[in-house]
Amino acid sequence: MQLDQFQEQARLDRGDKVLLVAPPGSGKTTVLLAKIEYLVEECQVEPDRILVLTFSRSASENMKDRYHRQRKAGGPAFGTIHALAYREIRSRKGGIELISPAQAIFSLHQVRRQYFLSLQESTDCLSDISRERATGHFDPSIPERFRQQVREAYGNYKAERKLRDFDDLEEEFLEMLEDEMYRITMQHRYDWIMVDEFQDLNRVQLRILKILSKDCHLFCVGDEDQCIYAFRGSDTAAMVNFAREFDGGQILYLQYNYRSSATIVRHANQVIACNQARYPKVIDNFRQDESSIRIRSFSSDSASTRFLISHLYKLGSRRTAALIFRTNSELEETAHQLLREKLRFSCQDHPPNRYDRRLLRNLIDFLTYSQNAISCKVMFFRLLATLPLHLSPEVITRCVNSERWSEQDLLNDQIFDLTPDQRQGLDRLFKGFRKLRTMEPGTAIRYILYVMGYSQWIRRMAQGTGAILQDLIREAEDFAAEAACFGSVPDFLEFIRTWDGIMSEKGAGERILLSTMHGVKGMEFDEVLLVNAVEGSIPHEKSMDDLEAERRLFYVAITRAMHDLTILVPASRQGRAVEPSRFLKELGLPIEDESPVTAKNQVGGIIRMIKQKIRL
């Protein structure tokens, strides 16, 4: 690829501390790889004297793969700051075990029971801990006593099991760099350090970078307009004040957006120009073609979803499209609707799986066993523990370990030592399973709840965990209502299996991708559909105190589009009236009303026209 004049200037620059400001679609990765090749081939820098740091492991792997497609052997060290810290700590201190997401959630189990926290609320608590460590700031609306309980529960769990998280790695690596001999060794290990997505560094990572780059060249690439990870501690300050952070640092600019049409670049520039904490840079469109940006208003969120479904059915076979949402919950709801319509898609972000709850998994197991009793021995005995059959754990263990466990064996064989009442209860259970096979799925779930006795286990679960019984029953009833929309139990189970697969695979390669604004960064698509562009969502109701950060998210979302951009604006969400996002005015485009024309709104339009004439 031939470089433009701005890319070539960056490739050849050999300044001591340099920041390259790279807007969306400007070819920053191409420039980084071209610069590495220039240093190795023309400046005779040894590849192992170059360190390339990226924000994510996927970005690191992508850059490494692209480099090795051009050069078969050798190469610089590619990785994240987390990976660098992990490698250095392990080389000096031995083995490291990182805490898993499931372990992190489990560490808060006592706090969850005390405050009735949902899985999502627990995940948010862990994010708050990480943000506080990265930034030194916390949400003042959260009581200090609660924060302290969360910190102690999480910290104690890690300490007892000698586990570390990513924040621990960075902080421990920073402590290691306080040792003078080790610090000097690290400072002389590399001649060049290159950093991608510089705007995403938190304050600890920035301190590490300053120490490591003291005696070598530093070349950073970033864009303060795409700094969208404030919840992880990222801050535009280091970007905007680069020359002060790195004494005498030099600023270079890439100017052309090669990705998007002239239309998209022009209107995106209008939006981001409203931010103050940014460089006053020029962003030109390389492409001269105009394309479509449409802002479409609908009467409700359900009408908006119906349009999405219809539109995606018409999507060309070679076209890629991204449905972009502000939150995971919005993504999940739309994903559920698309799957019901048998549309194929993948997810870049994965909200908590709505079916991955013990209460619902048991119900799914009941339905599964009713359809295929022969191959589900372990499942069957697990379900026995949720029913009021009064079988002791010892009896269940004997049953599980026995090679004979058919319906006839359990009811007649004396080795299981069942009482007459227990045999009678099992007989009713087997008859119940036979009835389930012929029921519609919604009816089957209510039969499990109220006839087979699963609701009694729900009651025990509420008493043992401190959960609210009515909420658990409502969750089961909602599940039954959802199941009632399917024609048969096998159809419903197949739907759940497909959903589980989508929720467990990241970006599985379908032409249609669903993502949050945060997850879609660095990607590009033929078409982008931005969903729910209304106040309270974009900008989010919890982030009104940082509108510049919300505007950057909006900017990142719309600049993923190469050709067409459609922005969906429902007039109501979940039955509540909402206003169009304030950022739509900054785009400078009209909103097209897609609501069906009825006599009522025709009259309303006439009345509005008369009022306007009276005012005139």
| DSSP 8-state symbol, 291 | -
In angstroms, the CA 12 to CA 38 distance is 7
273: pLDDT strictly greater than 60:
yes
pLDDT at position 33 over 80: yes
Q: In terms of Cα–Cα distance, which of 367, 356, 299, 166 is closest to 577?
A: 299
Strands 576-577 and 17-21: unpaired
Taking alpha carbons only, the member of 247, 241, 187, 252 closest to residue 219 is 252
Side-by-side strand order, sheet with 561-570? 346-347, 512-516, 321-325, 525-530, 561-570, 293-298, 591-593
Q: What is the pLDDT of residues 425-448, one digit of tens each?
A: 778 888 888 898 889 999 999 999
In what side-by-side order are the strands of the sheet with 217-222?
77-80, 50-54, 192-195, 217-222, 17-21, 250-253
132 pLDDT above the threshold of 50:
yes
Half-sphere exposure of 322 (CA within 13 A, CB side): 30
Cis peptide before 580 (omega within 30 of 0): no
Is residue 108 pLDDT above 80, yes or no?
A: yes
Is the predicted pLDDT of residue 611 greater than 50, yes or no? no
Residue 111: predicted pLDDT: 86
Maximum Cα interatomic distance, the chain, rounded to a whole number of Å:
94
| pLDDT, position 406 | 65
Segment among 189-203, 307-321, 373-387, 528-542 with least mean pLDDT: 373-387
* pLDDT at 610 (0 to 100): 47
State the pTM of this model.
Answer: 0.84
Whole-number pLDDT of residue 353: 82
**27/42 Cα distance (integer angstroms):** 21
pLDDT-based confidence at 416, cuts 50/70/90?
low
Q: State the first-to-last Cα distance of the chain, in angstroms, to the nearest integer.
A: 59
Handedness of CA 231, 237, 243, 247 (dihedral sign): negative
Which residue, among 599, 546, 597, 590, has the nearest Cα to 569 in the 3D structure? Answer: 590
Q: What's the pLDDT at 388? A: 81
Band (pLDDT 50/70/90 cuts) for residue 562 is very high
Mean pLDDT (whole number) for 277-284: 93
Question: pLDDT tens for residues 286-327?
Answer: 999 999 999 999 999 999 999 999 999 998 888 999 999 999
Are 515 and 352 spatial neighbours (Cβ–Cβ below 8 Å)? no
Alpha-carbon gap, residue 260 to 404, rounded angstroms: 66
State both tokens at 559.
């600049």
